[in-house]
Amino acid sequence: MGRPQEKIVRPEEYLRMEEAAEHKSEYYHGEIFAMSGASVSHNLIVMNVGASLHHSLRDSDCFVFPSDMKLELERAEHYAYPDLSVVCGKIEYATDRNDIIRNPVVIVEVLSESTKDYDRGTKFRAYRRIPSLRDSVLIDQYDYGVEYFFKNEAGLWTLEEFRNPEESLSVRSVNVELPLDSIYYQVKIEGSP
């Protein structure tokens, strides 16, 4: 017996479904993936980082978007909801849309057990192909751990890792310092006070 055929959804159909949906879904080459709810730690980290970015960038031409703002990673092939994204300057929207952006300079993802492989793999490869993207931050919600990727002057992606709550990372494209103790404020990390 063969495998049941998977239903391939056209991008226009996905976008229509998403407009009426009660829950968010991501789209990847014809397949739809439901987004699950997030833990308390995940939400605290997103709020802590979002508040820091928003406060630091409030007098600039940059916009900080929460996870409800969809990104077009590949035209009509891949749409995703990062936990946070930052756009500086004029916002570029997907064709005929005002709810899908194409030009983030910073993307932040908080890793969970169920999504960490996708966030580090397929999704991160797609993020790196966005011409405007300069910084990508992956944050572990279970332990102190931040992987900070930035595009260097040669156009190559470079990784810096932070594991100590006294450390601080500098998001280069927007010149914002993010101390780990602020990122993890009120987050219960096993073995920490």
Look up the pTM and report it.
0.90
Q: Which two tokens stand for residue 29?
A: 């080459």
Inter-residue contact 21 to 56 (CB < 8 Å): no
Residue in the block written with tokens 């969970």:
112
Q: Which two tokens stand for residue 9?
A: 């959804």
CA 110 vs. chain centroid, Å, equals 8
Higher-confidence position of 138 and 32? 138
Q: What percent of the chain has pLDDT over 70?
A: 95
Sheet containing strand 25-28, edge to edge, reads: 31-34, 25-28, 78-80, 70-74, 100-101
Residue (of 185, 190, 189) closest to 50 by Cα position: 185
- The domains located in the chain, with CATH, are 38-183 (3.90.1570.10)
Q: Which two tokens stand for residue 178?
A: 């993010």
Report the DSSP beta bridge partners of residue 100: 70
Q: How confident is the model at residue 4 (pLDDT cuts 50, 70, 90)?
A: very low
Question: CA–CA separation, 119 vs 134, rounded Å?
Answer: 17
